[in-house]
Amino acid sequence: MYGFREIDASQLKTWLDEGKEIQLVDVRTPAEMARGMIPGATALPLTVLPLKTGELSKDKPVVFYCMSGGRSAQAAAFLANQGYPEPVSLRGGITAWSRSGYPVAQG
C-alpha cells in the first residue's frame, strides 16, 4: 500500500446506504464526467487536485474514483503524502460501479 486504502464498489455502496460521512470525489476529466457521475460526488479533475487540496476534508475519509481506478489511486497517494489520514481509492472506478448496477447520475 501507498498510505491509502482501496475499496470495491459494493463497499462504497454500503457506506453510502449507511450514511457514512465521506467526501466522494470524481477525478476524471470534465468530458468524462459529462457522461455520468456517482450521485453525491464532487468534481475535481486530477490535473487540478494539487491546487485544490485545501478544499478536501481531513475530518472524514476522502474517496476518489475515476474511470477504472488508476487516477483515483494516484489522487489517494497524493493526499496521503499531504498528510490526509484516510484517503481511499475506488477499485475499478465508475466502470466497476456501473457494472454492479449502481446508480449513475448525468453529469
Q: What is the pLDDT of residues 52-100, one digit of tens each?
A: 999 999 999 999 999 999 999 999 999 999 999 989 999 999 999 999 9
Report the percentage of the chain scoring pLDDT > 70.
Answer: 97
Grid cell at residue 107: 453529469
**In angstroms, rounded to a whole number, what is the distance separating the alpha carbons of residues 67 and 7?**
15
What per-residue confidence (pLDDT) applies to 106? Answer: 85
For residues 15 and 81, what is the distance between their CA atoms, to the nearest angstrom? Answer: 25
Helix residue spans in 43-105 (DSSP H): 49-52, 70-81, 93-99
Q: What is the pLDDT of residue 107?
A: 64
Spot the catalytic one: 66, 67, 79, 94: 66
96 is catalytic: no
Domain ranges of the chain: 5-99
Reply yes or no on whether the pLDDT at 1 is more than 70: no
Q: Is the dihedral of CA 30, 107, 19, 91 positive or negative?
A: negative
- As a whole-number percent, the residues of the chain with pLDDT over 90 amount to 94
The yes or no reply on domain 5-99 and CATH 1.10.10.10 is: no
Helix or strand (DSSP H, E) at 30: helix 30-33
Instruction: Enter the pTM of the model.
Output: 0.95
